[in-house]
Structure 1
Amino acid sequence: MNRRQFIKASVLTPIALILTSKLVATLRPYPLADILVQLKALPPERLTSSGSWNVSQILQHCSQSIRYSIYGYPEARSPLFQYTIGKLAVNAFAATGKLHHPLDEAIPGAPALEPALPNDVALRELIYTVQQFMDWQGAMQPHFAFGSLTKAQYYSVHYLHLQSHLNEISIS
């Protein structure tokens, strides 16, 4: 391979990878309505957490995240981060069907989670918030790390985020 071919391949390969991951991300279904059915079936008094947050805190955190996509996040990363690393990450997460992040990391600027809030209250709030998001007809607010997202992209982000956190919750 000569130098010109190497430079061309070095430039085109990342572009092809980005476009491919974006295409795969748009083809993968993210049935948020299915998670809503799962949430409605959970017995709040029998839920336990395997993580560092209790069940209520996990549910509150998920509610915050969804609510902020409608009303705006309290803090945001820099536009440079959002339009580089953030965009690559959201497409990679949607393409792979897995969202990787520390499961006890609060949303920047969000109010503290209330550890004593009963599970049934936190679960009702999450169910309400998921339904509110699904019914929302207004503009979506930029994600604090991923920047501007369409509602379809938010469906994938919320679905993957909920799946990630619900994996820490079990029924005893």
Structure 2
Amino acid sequence: MNRRQFIIGALCTPVVLVLGIKSVATLRHYPLGQMLREIKALPADKLSSSGSWNVSEIFQHCAQSIRYSMTGYPQAKPALFQLTAGKAAFNTFVAKGSMHHPLDEAIPGAPELVKEVPNSVAQAELVYVLEQFIAWQDRLEPHFAFGELNKIDYFKAHYLHLQSHLSQISLS
């Protein structure tokens, strides 16, 4: 291999990888409506959490995230981060079909979660916000880490975020 081929290969490989991940990411389907029905069906008084947040805090956190996609996140990562690492992380999560992040990390600038809120109240809030989001027709606000997302991409982000957090909830 000569030097020219090596340089061309070195420059093209990241582009091909990014395009491949993006292609896989666009093919996956994330049924947020189905997730909503599953959340509604959960028996709030019989749930427990395996994580450091209780069930109510998990529901509150997920509701915050969805609400902020409509109203705006309190704090955002720098634009350069959103356009590079943020977009790459989002596309990787969507292509993999799962999101991995610290499950007890608050949304930057969000109000503290309240441990004492009953599970049923937090669940009702999450259901309400999810229904609001699904019906939302106005402009969506940029995600604090992923930047600008259209409605389809937000469906994916919210589905994966919920899936990640709900993995810590089980029947007690």
Q: TM-score, normalised by structure 1?
A: 0.99
Which residue does the alignment assign to 2:113?
Answer: 113
SS at match of 1:155: helix
Secondary structure of the residue aligned to 1:170 is: strand
Q: Find the residue that maps to 1:146 and give its secondary structure.
A: coil
Aligned to 2:75: 75
2:163 equivalent in structure 1:
163
1:44 aligns with 2:44: yes
How far 1:102 moved relative to its partner?
A: 0.2
Aligned to 1:21: 21
Q: 2:2 is aligned with what amino acid? A: N
For 1:8 and 1:69, the matched residues in 2 are separated by 40
Give the secondary structure class of the aligned counterpart of 2:13: helix
C-alpha deviation, 1:138, in angstroms:
0.6
Per-residue deviation at 1:155?
0.6
2:38 partner amino acid: Q
Q: CA deviation at 1:20?
A: 1.2
- Is 1:93 aligned to 2:93, yes or no? yes
Runs of 4+ in 1 over 4 A off after TM superposition: none
Deviation string, structure 1 residues 83-116 (Cα, Å, up to 9, x no partner): 0000100000001101010000000000000000
- Match of 1:48, SS state, is strand
The residue number in structure 2 matching 1:136 is 136
Match of 1:8 in 2: 8
The alignment of Structure 1 onto Structure 2 pairs a total of residues equal to: 172
Distance, in Å, in 2 between the alignment partners of 1:137 and 1:20 is: 31
Unmatched 5+ residue regions in structure 1? none
Question: What's the secondary structure of 1:147's corresponding residue?
Answer: coil
Q: Deviations over 1:97-148 (max 9, x none)?
A: 0101000000000000000000000000000111111000011100000100
The alignment-based identity, stated in percent, is 60
Find the aligned partners of 1:39 and 1:98 in 2 and give their Cα distance. Answer: 18
Aligned CA RMSD, in angstroms, stands at 0.6
Distance 1:34 1:99 in 2: 18
Match of 2:35 in 1: 35
Measure, in 1, the Cα distance between the counterparts of 2:21 and 2:84: 14
Tell me, in whole angstroms, the C-alpha distance in 2 between the residues paired with 1:109 and 1:162.
20
Aligned partners of 1:2 and 1:152: how far apart in 2?
Answer: 44
Q: Which amino acid is the alignment partner of residue 85 of structure 2?
A: I
Structure 2: distance between partners of 1:54 and 1:28: 30
TM-score by length of 2: 0.99
Opposite residue 142 of structure 1, the aligned amino acid is: P
Q: Tell me how far 1:6 sits from its aligned partner.
A: 1.0
Q: Residue 13 of structure 2 aligns to which amino acid in structure 1?
A: T
Structure 2 unmatched ranges of 5 or more? none
